[in-house]
Amino acid sequence: MGRVLGWAAVALLVLAGAGYGAETFAASGDADRHPAPGRLVDVGGHRLHLRCVGSGGPTVILDAGWGEAGATWDDVQTALARRSLRSCSYDRAGYGWSEAGPGPRDAGRAAEELHTLLERSGETGPFVLVGHSYGGHVVRMLADRHPGQVAGLVLVDATEASERVAREIDGLTPVIVGQMRLYQVAARIGLTRLFGEELAVADSPALVTKHAPVVYGPGSMGTAADEASSFPASTELVRAAERPGAWGRTPAVVIGTSGEPSGEYYAGLARMSSRGRYVVAGTDRHYIHLAEPELVIGAIAEVAAADRP
């Protein structure tokens, strides 16, 4: 049995080595096979990928959830363009086509990089900020630190920053980080390239599945692990910014899933603006913008059309 296990281990190492070599070779051609759909903007030592579609203001900025690139917003961007709204999605540092940035990768650093990206991109604010899941942490930090850039907020099943969730995250963080490191290894040996389309969330835009080797590649998975390492710090940063009336009269819509255990928390978020409201989606799926795109698109259009405070 020991001999059999030994040979099995050798075979696995050989296969892993072959996969690593094949993935390295294949990745060298990704610039041609999977070109960036947007442009790269220097934010100080590294570049972030920004993709803008449509015309008409105020411009909508779309921030994706943890483990996802800006391509997840592609169908939403197409729909917003039809409504004469300009929208820009981007990849946080290390995800998708964006270059890796310095650590720690907490929500505060991501918000500052987004602020720099908007300043250097030539896009004109103030902006409607839209954040899904962990992206909600980032846009909330941007709104707290740079309120002059904010024309409105839409939070889509945003990550909770309550004391209860903070306690849960403290215990789960090592497990989540370990899981993402395993995914990173799998991507390094070519498994993501082979099965990337299966990794995409149901109803993901074609842009995601078409470029899965980049969207879910080793860099993206490593970045997801780095962000996960900073989940406790990010939660504390966002919770510290949760002050009654912090958003003033800034239009805001907070969207949660049906049966959402965080309903009371989300309702409290909506009350951070005197013109905020909480909406319960008809789906229990975390990716509300994929399951009920019209609900999210309608909320964005509503906030964009609101009178500015």
- What mean pLDDT value characterizes the chain? 87
Smallest CA-to-CA distance from 97 within 37, 181, 20 is with 37
Please check whether residues 162 and 280 belong to one and the same domain. yes
Please check whether residues 21 and 124 belong to one and the same domain. no
* Single-letter residue type at 263: G
Please check whether residues 6 and 63 belong to one and the same domain. no
Please check whether residues 140 and 216 belong to one and the same domain. yes
pLDDT digits (tens, 9 = 90+) for 4-38: 434 344 333 343 444 445 455 456 566 678 899 99
Smallest CA-to-CA distance from 49 within 86, 84, 101, 85 is with 101
Whether residue 65 is predicted with pLDDT greater than 90 in this model: the reply is: yes
Whole-number Å distance between alpha carbons of 111 and 63: 10
Structural domain total, the chain: 2
Sheet order of strands, 39-42 included: 39-42, 47-53, 87-90, 60-63, 127-132, 150-156, 252-256, 276-280
Domain that holds residue 67: 37-305
Please check whether residues 136 and 9 belong to one and the same domain. no
Pairing mode of beta strands 47-53, 87-90 = antiparallel
Please check whether residues 199 and 251 belong to one and the same domain. yes
pTM above 0.95, yes or no: no
* Single-letter residue type at 9: A
**What pLDDT score was predicted for residue 13?**
39
pLDDT digits (tens, 9 = 90+) for 91-131: 999 999 999 999 999 999 999 999 999 999 999 989 999 99
Please check whether residues 168 and 241 belong to one and the same domain. yes
Mean pLDDT of 241-258: 94
> What is the 3-state composition of the chain as percent helix, strand, coil, each rounded to the nearest 5?
55, 15, 35
Please check whether residues 3 and 148 belong to one and the same domain. no
3-class secondary structure, 308: coil
**What pLDDT score was predicted for residue 193?**
64
3-class secondary structure, 245: coil
The answer to whether 83 touches 223, Cβ cutoff 8 Å, is no
Please check whether residues 133 and 4 belong to one and the same domain. no
Please check whether residues 75 and 144 belong to one and the same domain. yes
Pairing mode of beta strands 87-90, 150-156 = unpaired
CATH number for 198 = 3.40.50.1820
What residues contact 266, with CB distance under 8 A and at least 6 apart?
Answer: 155, 158, 254, 256, 260, 278
pLDDT digits (tens, 9 = 90+) for 149-201: 999 999 999 999 988 877 887 778 888 888 888 887 887 766 676 665 566 66
Please check whether residues 213 and 270 belong to one and the same domain. yes
